[in-house]
Structure 1
Amino acid sequence: MYKNTIETVIAKQDIHDTIMRYARAIDRADGPLLHSCYWDDAIEEHGSSYTGPAHDYIDGAMERLMKGDVMMHLAGNIHVELEGDTAWVETYLLTFARFKKDGEDWDTLTGGRVFDKFTCRDGEWRIAHRKMAFDWNHDMPSSESWCVGLFNPEDPRMIMGRKGKDDLTYSRF
């Protein structure tokens, strides 16, 4: 039977923090923050869209992400198996994204799992290799009406999420 120690609890928290930092970085199109989740020699296998060096994937994605519309990654269950300075991590992921199709906005929900090989180097846990498993997807025409009109996105009191450093996540109030 596996028993946690202070060291394993700290390692798991560091890994969890990296996964949460990844979600924040990808959704805000924050390249430097996203780079900080991966080792320089890390590999990214992102389904049929990309396989190769993780940092090249990030650099290529930043321009698309800044031009893109809404995106949100929600991390769910996180299972960590520690083996010394290596951790095998499965994270359930729900992704919402908006894309253009034939000039119209489409919303897509994708459920899947991310499988990461984390390694600890000089006391720091980062992703060394990532693979994705896609479990389901639902695409639909966008029908955004802000809770059937309850919220008005044009109202100056509405704080709308943004890409980059103008998002509320980077401010202190």
Structure 2
Amino acid sequence: MALEPQELEAIHAREMIRDCVARVARGEDRRDRDLLKTAYWPGAAMDYGIFAGDLDAYLDWIVPGSPAVLLTQHFIGQTLIAVEGDTAKAESHVIAYHRVDYGSEHRDLAMGGRYLDSFEKRDGQWRIAARTMLYDWSQDIGQAADFSEGLMGAPFSAGHFTGRTTGDFSAEFFGKALEGTK
């Protein structure tokens, strides 16, 4: 049973859209302006409730980000995608973790919600033209544990195991591999 060309094109579109959503998550977590620019069309509109603006304002908001937000990690869940020609709508579930420096202590915060993205395909590329964030829940997990030296009483064998917003081992791991997406 062979797939029809339009079925293959729809599968490819969905995979490119999922990849775009993943690039946003990594770009925000690593505060990587160039990677984020590959996921949005120039002039894209964003509305996060606590921020609304165009792509340039969004990039200035995310990169370098608040110095009080020491670490973020965005987990992307299922993404429902409706493709219609060269446009698509996608709803991606997200759980976002943030380690925040309150001055007297570091706290771990988590929130869950959904990205509502409007995509456009231009010159064979799918990118976000507009994003709205919906928040479903938020939780202050409490004072952050210091795991910089190891976990569960066992020390790390090298310094590269602890993640950071910028300059952690993942940059070396990927090396030039991500340049093709930029």
TM-score range, shorter chain: 0.7 to 0.9
Q: CA deviation at 1:170?
A: 2.3
Identify the residue that residue 35 of structure 2 maps to in structure 1.
Answer: 33
CA-atom RMSD in angstroms: 2.3
Identify the residue that residue 24 of structure 1 maps to in structure 2.
Answer: 26
Distance 1:148 1:31 in 2: 32
Identify the residue that residue 143 of structure 2 maps to in structure 1.
Answer: 142
Distance 1:136 1:39 in 2: 29
Identify the residue that residue 178 of structure 2 maps to in structure 1.
Answer: none
Task: Give aligned-pair identity as a percent.
Answer: 30
Secondary structure at the counterpart of residue 128 of structure 1: strand
Q: CA deviation at 1:59?
A: 1.8
Q: CA deviation at 1:127?
A: 0.3
Q: CA deviation at 1:172?
A: 4.1
Give the partner amino acid of 2:51. Y
Structure 2, unpaired ranges of 5+: 175-182
Secondary structure at the counterpart of residue 63 of structure 2: helix
TM-score, length-scaled by structure 1: 0.87
Q: Structure 1 residues 151 and 137 mapped into 2: Cα distance closer, same or farther (>3 Å)?
A: farther
Distance 2:65 2:100 in 1: 11
Identify the residue that residue 82 of structure 2 maps to in structure 1.
Answer: 81
TM-score, length-scaled by structure 2: 0.83
Give the partner amino acid of 1:162. R
Residues 75 and 92, structure 1, Cα contact 8 Å, conserved in 2: yes
Q: Which of 140, 143, 155 lines up with 1:152 in the alignment?
A: 155
Structure 1, unpaired ranges of 5+: none
Secondary structure at the counterpart of residue 22 of structure 2: helix
